[in-house]
Structure 1
Amino acid sequence: MTAATDSNKTFRPRNPEATKELLLTAATEEFSEYGFAGARIDRISERAHTNKRMIYAYFGDKDGLFDAVLRRQIARLGEAVPFEEGDLTAFAAARFDYMLTNPAARRLAGWRAFERSRPTAAESESYRVNVEAVAAAQRAGKVNDSIPAIDLFAIVLRMTESWLSAPPALHAAADTDPMTPDRTDEHRAALVEAVRRITEPA
C-alpha cells in the first residue's frame, strides 16, 4: 500500500477505510479521556496523524464522529458479551469481564451517561433487543417474571459496573487495591451469585 506524509512527516494511509479506522480509534481515546464536550477535533486528527478535514468528510461533524464511536462500541460489546436466551447471569459475568479489561469503554460509557441525554438509534435498538430477550425468557419460565423485563435488565446492567464505578471511598473500604485480580475475582463471584438469585424463576 502506498502512503503519503503529512506536515509532521508521519505516514498516513491513502485507503479511506484505513483512515476511518485511525480516526475512530483516535476519537475513542479522545472521547474516553475528555468526554464529548472536552474532546477536540484538532487533537483527534493529531492522534490519527491525518488532516482534520477527513473527519468532516467521513463523519460530518463532531456529533457524527461521536455517534460512529458509539456504534462501534455497541458492536464490539455485542460480540464480546452475547445475550443468548435472556441469560442474565452469563450476560452479567461477560459484561463485567469486558468492562474490566476495556477501561476506555468504561470511561466512555460514564461520559455518555453524564453528558448526553439523546440516545442514538444504535443504542435504542440495542436496549430494545435486550429487553425483549428478557421478556421472552420470562414468558418461557427461564427468568423471574415478578419484575418487569425493562426494570430487571436495568438493575442487572448497573450491577455489572457496581464495583468498577463505585465511589473511591468504597474502594478504600476494601483495605486492598480495589482492582487487583483477587479483589475483582471476588466481586465477580458475588455479582454472579446476586444476579442468579434475583433472576432465577421463583
Structure 2
Amino acid sequence: MAKKSNSLADPPVRNREATRGQLIKAVGEILAEKGFGALGVNAVARQANVDKVLIYRYFNDLEGLTKAFAQEGDFWPSIEELAGGDIAAYQFLPLEEKLINLGRNFIRGIRARPLTQEIMAWEMVERNKLTEELEKARELQMLRFFEQFLSKENDNIDLVAIMSIIGGGLSFLICRSRHIQWYNGIDLRSDEGWARIEGGIEQVVRKLLQ
C-alpha cells in the first residue's frame, strides 16, 4: 500500500511543544494582520500549517488557545522585564525610582512588541471573549507587579491611579505611533522622541513625590 502523503489533514509527526508554539504564534499573526473578527479555528490552523484537530487536542477549543496566547505568547512584558531585569535590585529602590523605571521599562517593552501594539489597537474596536482573555492577562500581570513591589509603599498616594494615568497615556501614544508620527511636536517614531517622554515621566514622578 502506498504511503499517504503529508497534508494539512494528515500532518507529519511534530514535537508537541513545537506545534503548540506554532499555533500560539499563528493567533498573534492573525490578530495583528486582520483583527479579532478573522480569528477562528480554521484560520489559525491554516496560518500554522497544521491540522485543526490539534487545536482541540492541545487547547480544547479556540478560547483555550487564545488564553494560552495571552499567557505564553510573549504578549505582555514579564514582571522581570518591567522591573528592569533584576527583581532583587528593583525591590530595594526608592518609590520614585521604582515608578520611573516602571514607566521606562513599560515603554521599551511595548515598543519592542509591534504585535502587541496592533492587538491593543484592535481591542478598541472589537469586543468579545477573546479580547477579555487578553485584558485579563494584562490586568493580572500588572496587579501581580503592584502586589510584589508597590503595595507596601506610601498609603497617602494612590499608586494604582497614578500607574493607570501614566500607563494609559503611554499606551495611547504607543498605539498612535503605529500610524501617526507626531504628537505635540514629539516624534513618536524616533528614539529621541521616546527619550523625551521617558524624561517627562521622570519629571512628573519626582514632582509628585516631593
TM-score, normalised with respect to structure 1: 0.74
Tell me if the contact between 1:13 and 1:19 (Cα under 8 Å) persists in the aligned partners: no
How far 1:70 moved relative to its partner? 0.9
What is residue 194 of structure 2 aligned with on the other side?
Answer: 184
Question: What are the equivalent positions in structure 2 for 1:73-88 lying under 5 Å apart?
Answer: 73=74, 76-82=77-83, 84-85=90-91, 87-88=98-99
What is residue 203 of structure 2 aligned with on the other side?
Answer: 193
In structure 2, C-alpha distance between the alignment counterparts of 1:44 and 1:154, rounded to whole Å: 33
In structure 2, C-alpha distance between the alignment counterparts of 1:38 and 1:183, rounded to whole Å: 34
How far 1:38 moved relative to its partner? 2.6
Structure 2: state its 5+ residue gaps: none
Question: Closer, same or farther in 2 for the Cα pair 1:78/1:13, shift >3 Å?
Answer: farther
SS of the residue aligned with 1:164? Answer: helix
Tell me if the contact between 1:31 and 1:39 (Cα under 8 Å) persists in the aligned partners: yes
Mean CA deviation greater in 87-96 or 24-33: 24-33
% same residue = 17
Kindly provide the CA deviation profile for residues 162-199 of structure 1, in whole angstroms up to 9, marking residues without a partner as x: 4213488974456686302332333332233334433x
Question: What are the equivalent positions in structure 2 for 1:83-94 lying under 5 Å apart?
Answer: 84-85=90-91, 87-94=98-105
In structure 2, C-alpha distance between the alignment counterparts of 1:102 and 1:36, rounded to whole Å: 18
Question: What are the equivalent positions in structure 2 for 1:149-188 lying under 5 Å apart?
Answer: 149-166=159-176, 171-172=181-182, 178-188=188-198
TM-score, normalised with respect to structure 2: 0.71
In structure 1, C-alpha distance between the alignment counterparts of 2:30 and 2:178, rounded to whole Å: 24
Tell me if the contact between 1:99 and 1:105 (Cα under 8 Å) persists in the aligned partners: yes
Structure 1: state its 5+ residue gaps: 140-144
- Cα RMSD (Å) of the superposition? 3.3
What is residue 63 of structure 1 aligned with on the other side?
Answer: 63
Mean CA deviation greater in 107-116 or 61-70: 107-116
In structure 1, C-alpha distance between the alignment counterparts of 2:123 and 2:31, rounded to whole Å: 9
Tell me if the contact between 2:76 and 2:116 (Cα under 8 Å) persists in the aligned partners: no
What is residue 97 of structure 1 aligned with on the other side?
Answer: 108
Mean CA deviation greater in 85-94 or 16-25: 85-94
Tell me if the contact between 2:110 and 2:117 (Cα under 8 Å) persists in the aligned partners: yes
Kindly provide the CA deviation profile for residues 116-136 of structure 1, in whole angstroms up to 9, marking residues without a partner as x: 474576444323323333331
Mean CA deviation greater in 117-126 or 95-104: 117-126
What is residue 42 of structure 2 aligned with on the other side?
Answer: 42
Question: Closer, same or farther in 2 for the Cα pair 1:13/1:164, shift >3 Å?
Answer: farther
How far 1:88 moved relative to its partner? 1.6
